[in-house]
Amino acid sequence: MAYTLPGTGESACAANPVRARRWRIFWSYLPDWCLTILFWVTKLIDKVDGNRRLFSVTDESLAHPYANPERVPVWLLGVICGLVPALFMILTAAFIRRSFWDAHSAILGFVLNLGLTVTFTNVVKITVGRPRPDFFARCQIPDSITSNPIHGLTSWTVCQNLVNIKEGFRSFPSGHSSFAWAGMWYLILYAAAKMRINNRRGHTWKAWLLLAPLLCSTLVSISRTMDYRHHATDVIAGGIVGIATSWFSYRQYYPPVCSPQSYKPYSPRIPHPDAEKSSLPLHNKPRRSSSENLTSAYGSGTGGAGVEHAGYKNPYDGYPPRREEESVMVHEGQREEEERLGMRSEDVETVQR
């Protein structure tokens, strides 16, 4: 498909193949950006009231005070676990890698990561409807209600204060925890790949650097239990969600950290015009006859193992020697293979020598 350059009316393909490919890449990834940002920014799921579980008025785990202000408010969470990792990846791609494509892949995967995390966490929150540890402080249950109904539990309709009651039923999983672990674990994967953490050199300073984002996400999760906003199981589940989404999103655009090429993003989905030419195999290695394969597999007449070409792996390695009654079939197959390749026994002997 040919694109027209803005303001010129000239075909991009005819003017410049490199520019034409760039436009194709732009239009190819534009829907990914729009879809990811749209689902994340709109947050339509937050407007849903959600489930409200029954509770026991004697449950001490719900009787904690309401902390105001929070130790880590939402805006600070966005700066620490969202803006800081994004700036780190942009600066790394710009001044160290000097690659626009690396910055594009990192930020697109990062935005996808956070979008998936926020959406999944909010859907589960609304569906579960678990009361927060500070639920009684939000609800302000009348003093006259000191026990549950006979053979039952208490409903939220007894609450006298309904201002914060909606958020009071969104404890599981922790949104702060999932967001923090999603942002910081993605940063850990990105930084570990750029530092080539698995290059078998064992530099300890790399591990100490990666400890910083790990501690950040851990402390954010702990702060939610200190503010009595979440139970311990809530922050653990949020951390699992964040790690899972960050790993999934990172692997969409980067190879695994254990890969020798882990510091490079995957190539664009629009291949380079010379990709097919450069990917053709080079037939510059000597062809190996079937007699050489048999010689290397079973040994030469003097008991040797045969001469192996560089990079060649014998397909018969690990197999036991053939039985004597199969030797006739082996020689017949060898002769047929030599005739197919156009080789005679004299040629084989010359190769073996």
**Which DSSP string corresponds to 131-142?**
PPTTHHHHH---
**Rounded to whole angstroms, how far apart are CA atoms 267 and 57?**
58
Same domain, 170 and 246: yes
331 and 214 inside one domain? no
Q: Are residues 136 and 212 in the same domain?
A: yes
67 and 131 part of one domain:
yes
Handedness of CA 42, 112, 178, 204 (dihedral sign): negative
pTM above 0.75, yes or no: no
The letter for the amino acid at 119 is T
- Judge if 95 and 225 occupy the same domain: yes
Query: Is 266 domain-assigned?
Result: no
Domain that holds residue 302: 290-352
Among residues 104, 151, 176, 309, the one annotated as catalytic is 176
- Residue 231 annotated as catalytic: no
The total number of structural domains in the chain stands at: 2
Return averaged pLDDT per consecutive 10 residues of the chain, 353 residues in all. 52 65 86 82 73 91 91 94 95 91 93 92 92 92 87 89 88 95 96 88 88 95 95 96 96 91 87 58 47 46 42 46 46 51 46 43
Instruction: Express each pLDDT in 92-138 by its tens digit.
Output: 999 998 989 999 999 999 999 999 999 999 999 999 999 999 999 99
User: In this predicted structure, what is the pLDDT of residue 132?
Assistant: 94
Catalytic site residue from 104, 151, 203, 230: 230
Which of 200, 232, 251 finishes a domain?
A: 251
- From residue 41, alpha-carbon distances to 34, 73, 79, 115, 220 in Å are 10, 18, 16, 8, 23
Co-location of 206 and 299 in the same domain = no
Specify the pLDDT at position 325: 43
Q: Which of 267, 179, 170, 262 is nearest to 223 (CA)?
A: 179
Query: 245 with 297, same domain?
Result: no
- Note whether residue 285 is domain-resident: no
230 part of the active site: yes
Among all chains, which residue has been given the structure tokens 């201002």? Answer: 163
Domain final residue, candidates 229, 251, 273:
251
∠ Cα 128 134 140 (to 5°): 105
Structural domain includes residue 135:
yes
3-state secondary structure of 167: helix
